[in-house]
Chain A
Amino acid sequence: MSRASAIEIAGLDVTFGRGRRAFRAVRDASFSVTAGSSFGLVGESGSGKTTVLRALAGLLPPAARIRGEMRLHGEPLRPARSRPLRRRLQMVFQDPYGSLHPRHTVDRILGEPARVHGLDSIDRRIVDALADVGLDASFRFRFPHQLSGGQRQRIAIARALIIEPAIVLLDEPTSALDVSVQAEILNLLQRLRREHALTFVLVSHDLAVVSHMCEALAVMRAGEVIENAGVETLRADALRHEYSRELLQAAQGYRTTPAGMPPAER
């Protein structure tokens, strides 16, 4: 491999519950993400892709049993996370209506993580973070319920970026948004990745989004990674596994190209 891996996952196994009720949500999943790239994790709902993301973020409930290896820039990732480690790995959630505290102002949502991590000149950072996601300072003292879905997701992205992470985990960041807003958010994410030299792990069921955003992808089904491929393979329609091809066909069948987004070349 020419560039260093930001994330390596080898033989990851996640089981919820015990005994006969045990449910293996992720089975022997392996993939690696090149530093500075964007990696797509695709699959239908229930395929375990969000569980993989939460395992990476250290957000699985303590009852979940995790086996296998996760490495961040070569260091092993364990369920117990130190604060500096948490800082390097941030997450943007699927539903911007649920991921912002309803009683906190934008000022607090952005300011608290910065304060907790001991950053300086917090006022300037808050204004900068807002500007970074395309919002002006007038949003600073608003509550989430005074914002639209797209604005909320921008705040959620600003919250993840204000503590300067190396890796951002994106859990279907646009699927709860209007089609017209989706493209804006995706382009915003692309720009932020370039400007801040971030590594993205993007979970999505939409192959169009993945082919627009990512350089490599893994396809998951029923908890297993069934295919690891570069995005050229996806665009060339040369996915090896039959299920991956079916998924691609399904995506193309229903695809309505969002405005402002180039259609995937095939």
Chain B
Amino acid sequence: MSAVRAWLLVDVPRSRWQARCQRFFLGWLAFRQNAGAVAGLAIVAALVAAALLAPWISGSTGVVPDLGNRLQPPGAAFWFGTDELGRDIFDRIVWGSRITLYIVGLVTVIVVPIGLAVGVVAGYVGGWLDSALMRLTDIFLAFPRLILALAFVAALGPGLENAVLAIALTAWSPYARIARAEALTLRHSDFILAARSQGIPHHRVLAGHVAPMCMSSVIVRLTLDMAGIILTAAGLGFLGLGAQPPTPEWGAMIALGRDYLLDQWWVPAFPGLAILVVSLGFNLLGDGLRDVLDPKSRS
């Protein structure tokens, strides 16, 4: 163990691989210092664990009604109580973590590359291409998010995949704006000019030199967006255009539980709490990641 540690902390790395491991390890050491970030990581790790281990953690599939146990309060038998069809809310939240992770992951995978690509190209190339791409971005920015998502889902048909696609199509525009703003300031910086004067091709400059400088703003924006993405998915589910019942999607659970808010508070409260905790986790994690990803912030 200590040999590995010594290898990781050696003053002068001997190979590219060792240097990379060392950077990763030093990043982890810096990350560990940030209590909030570690809490965020723990929450996200718990979410992933719940999603992976759902069949073993939960006692039921979370979708089969049990009308004999309708609206039971939280207690020893049902930790988070049961809903209007007698389903265990704890089990449904555990199974719902899969859906949440699926939504968040898919939206991230679609939104970040599209937003980065559009923004970075617009800012770096400039001229008419910049104007064209930014007007397109403006159009997407100008639409209310949920309405545009509704239109997409109406066109594509209801379902979780289409809801995710609709959210992604409406969410990329702010990323393009952020990336463009960064690329504009970078475009005339000496290190980009140096790369160009060395004959490094444009696509390499964009992907390897400009885009990494935009990542920290994009990560911050993404973690702040996570809560919004989960809630938009929930909104679509509530309107019958997202996850279809009986899928235990957290937002849809709140939507269905709002009728019981006054007398059986636990029905909407626990899924709401789950969304709150997960959103908080992503925010804390993103904050910590941004600090670690910027090599200037650690020495």
> Are A138 and B12 in contact (CB-based, < 8 A)?
yes
A58 contact set on B, CB distance < 8 A: 197
B19 contact set on A, CB distance < 8 A: 105, 107, 140-141
Question: Per-position contact with B for A163-179: 1 when CB-CB < 8 Å, else 0?
Answer: 10000000000000000
Say whether A59 faces chain B, with CB atoms less than 8 Å apart: yes
> Are A91 and B194 in contact (CB-based, < 8 A)?
yes
Nearest 3 CB-CB pairings of A with B: A86-B199, A141-B19, A99-B190
Say whether A243 faces chain B, with CB atoms less than 8 Å apart: no
* Closest B residue, CB atoms, query A114: B198
A61 contact set on B, CB distance < 8 A: 188
| Cα distance A158–B62 in the bound complex, in angstroms | 63
Within 8 A of B (CB), among A92-141: 93-95, 98-105, 107, 112-113, 116-117, 137-138, 140-141
| Cα distance A116–B296 in the bound complex, in angstroms | 27
Say whether B5 faces chain A, with CB atoms less than 8 Å apart: no
> Are B197 and A90 in contact (CB-based, < 8 A)?
yes
- B198, B295, B299: the one contacting A102 at CB < 8 Å is B295
Say whether B13 faces chain A, with CB atoms less than 8 Å apart: yes
A86 contact set on B, CB distance < 8 A: 197-199
B12 contact set on A, CB distance < 8 A: 137-138, 141
| Cα distance A95–B191 in the bound complex, in angstroms | 10
> Are B194 and A112 in contact (CB-based, < 8 A)?
no
- A84, A95, A146: the one contacting B299 at CB < 8 Å is A146
| Cα distance A141–B10 in the bound complex, in angstroms | 12
Query: Closest Cβ of chain A: how far from B123's Cβ, in Å?
Result: 14
Say whether B196 faces chain A, with CB atoms less than 8 Å apart: yes
* Closest B residue, CB atoms, query A96: B190
> Are A113 and B199 in contact (CB-based, < 8 A)?
yes
Q: List 7 A-B contacts (CB under 8 A).
A: A62-B127, A83-B199, A87-B198, A101-B209, A103-B213, A105-B19, A138-B11
Query: Closest Cβ of chain B: how far from A85's Cβ, in Å?
Result: 8
Query: Closest Cβ of chain B: how far from A144's Cβ, in Å?
Result: 9
B-contacting residues of A (Cβ < 8 Å)? Answer: 57-59, 61-62, 81, 83-84, 86-87, 89-91, 93-95, 98-105, 107, 112-113, 116-117, 137-138, 140-141, 143, 145-146, 156, 159, 163
Given A103-B212, A138-B12, answer yes or no on A113-B198 (Cβ-Cβ < 8 Å): yes
A-contacting residues of B (Cβ < 8 Å)? Answer: 11-13, 16, 19, 22, 127, 188-191, 193-201, 204, 208-209, 212-213, 295-296, 299
B212 contact set on A, CB distance < 8 A: 103
Other A-B contacts than A86-B198, A138-B12, 20 sampled, CB-CB below 8 A, are A86-B197, A86-B199, A89-B197, A91-B197, A98-B189, A99-B190, A99-B191, A100-B191, A102-B296, A103-B295, A104-B209, A113-B200, A140-B19, A141-B12, A141-B19, A143-B295, A143-B296, A156-B194, A159-B194, A163-B199
Query: Closest Cβ of chain B: how far from A147's Cβ, in Å?
Result: 12
> Are B295 and A145 in contact (CB-based, < 8 A)?
yes
> Are A141 and B13 in contact (CB-based, < 8 A)?
yes
Query: Closest Cβ of chain B: how far from A258's Cβ, in Å?
Result: 24
| Cα distance A97–B97 in the bound complex, in angstroms | 46
> Are A59 and B197 in contact (CB-based, < 8 A)?
yes
A93 contact set on B, CB distance < 8 A: 190, 193-194
A95 contact set on B, CB distance < 8 A: 190
| Cα distance A32–B233 in the bound complex, in angstroms | 67
> Are A98 and B199 in contact (CB-based, < 8 A)?
no
* Closest A residue, CB atoms, query B199: A86
* Closest B residue, CB atoms, query A95: B190
* Closest A residue, CB atoms, query B22: A141
| Cα distance A61–B201 in the bound complex, in angstroms | 17
Query: Closest Cβ of chain A: how far from B231's Cβ, in Å?
Result: 33
Given A98-B190, A138-B12, answer yes or no on A90-B198 (Cβ-Cβ < 8 Å): yes
| Cα distance A141–B13 in the bound complex, in angstroms | 7
| Cα distance A89–B198 in the bound complex, in angstroms | 8
B299 contact set on A, CB distance < 8 A: 145-146
> Are A59 and B199 in contact (CB-based, < 8 A)?
no
Query: Closest Cβ of chain A: how far from B242's Cβ, in Å?
Result: 38
